[in-house]
Amino acid sequence: MPVNKETVLDQLKTVKGPDFEGDIVSLGLVSDIFIADAKVFFSITVPAARAQELEPLRAAAERVVTAIPGVAGVVVALTAEKKGGGMEAPVQPRPAAPASAPRPAPPTAPHAPKGPQSGRRGVPGIESIIAVASGKGGVGKSTTAANIALGLAAIGLRVGVLDADIYGPSMPRLLGIQGRPETVDGKILKPKENFGLKVMSMGFLVDEETPMIWRGPMVMSALTQMLREVEWGPLDVLVVDMPPGTGDAQLTMAQQVPLAGAVIVSTPQDLALIDARKGLNMFKKVDVPLLGIVENMSYFIAPDTGKRYDIFGHGGARREAERLGVTFLGEVPLEMGIREQSDAGAPVVVSRPDGPEAKIYRDIATRVWERVQEEKAGADAAVPSIVFD
């Protein structure tokens, strides 16, 4: 008999709420429940400051649902209610939107497998996977990733985008996509589409303003589902928008997926470059090719006078690329239209295709694809051939 939401809710009513007051369903802590292929996904809203303390509550909810006959897998994510949203006051909190994460996977090894890309399983139907990363937040990584993806599509490639920034997914807004994903035969997720891109994001499964609390194994499981349990179809390239930093998400992708390479996004100033170096070094250590560096917010042209201002300095990323022997992919200006069009869900590559900023992104995308082909050719050449006389 198929598992249904009512059965799941009945079981969750047996789980006591925080401080043993009521149950998590009657307290309004349980999100909508998402069921696909007998796998049950939902979230529980808790105060952010008590997330670690309330981990046993999450585990108890997962345990009682797992015991339901016919359930193939369960993962429960904790979501944090914003201050003033209900958890700090003695009233019922607002239910969170559903969070989706697959069955917890065993932790990956602390170090990548020996040898370039060894032991990493590809994704059927996807020829190349590119990670767009940054050492820190606030450098425009997601905007860059979206426009690079659109630039790759503009040169005739079949492109998908995986929003792996599970802490702050932004692709739904950047690419003007709303709604929940559908399932194919109730088993795997169907990506959303816009501007010719196939897109999957945690932002389709949780409310935009719901902060997510992720523990290491849950990060790996969520990424695994969004990567391997989605009907991507035939793609030439999948662009992965990574979360900032060098944590679980980056290591999961680098250790489990044969990445064609990584693009690092930085601003020109020294502080951002310090963090960018960390990202570069992490990908080097796990044998992921470095496709190049993009200098974002490189300069500003005053619209009234045409005068150029180097607000964050200029050329730092180019110098860093030269110092490390990494390809410099290009400079993107600090330009109001890029921000406005991104906020409107229509990035400049598609909304202003004839503009100078769109050309910059298309040129960067072309260089990225050239670097992918170079790395692929180098890898093929490195494989020894066996000749029989």
pLDDT in tens, 261-299: 999 888 876 555 676 777 777 787 778 889 999 998 888
Which stretch of 115-119, 319-323, 349-353 has the lowest confidence by average pLDDT? 115-119
Which stretch of 9-18, 28-37, 331-340 has the lowest confidence by average pLDDT? 28-37
Decide which of 85 and 320 is more confident.
320
What confidence tier does 335 reach under pLDDT thresholds 50, 70, 90? confident
Average pLDDT of the residues in 213-224: 58
Phi, psi of 105, rounded to the nearest 5 degrees: -95, 155
Looking at domain 126-382, which CATH architecture does it have? 3-Layer(aba) Sandwich (3.40)
Answer yes or no: is pLDDT of 327 > 50. Answer: yes
pLDDT in tens, 228-250: 888 998 999 999 998 776 566 66
Decide which of 230 and 364 is more confident.
364
pLDDT at 221: 65
Answer yes or no: is pLDDT of 172 > 50. Answer: yes
Which stretch of 59-68, 134-143, 344-353, 368-377 has the lowest confidence by average pLDDT? 134-143
Where are the domains positioned within the chain?
A: 12-81, 126-382
pTM as predicted: 0.68
The CATH code of domain 12-81 reads 3.30.300.130
Residue closest to 215 by CA, chosen among 302, 113, 104:
104
Average pLDDT of the residues in 353-363: 95
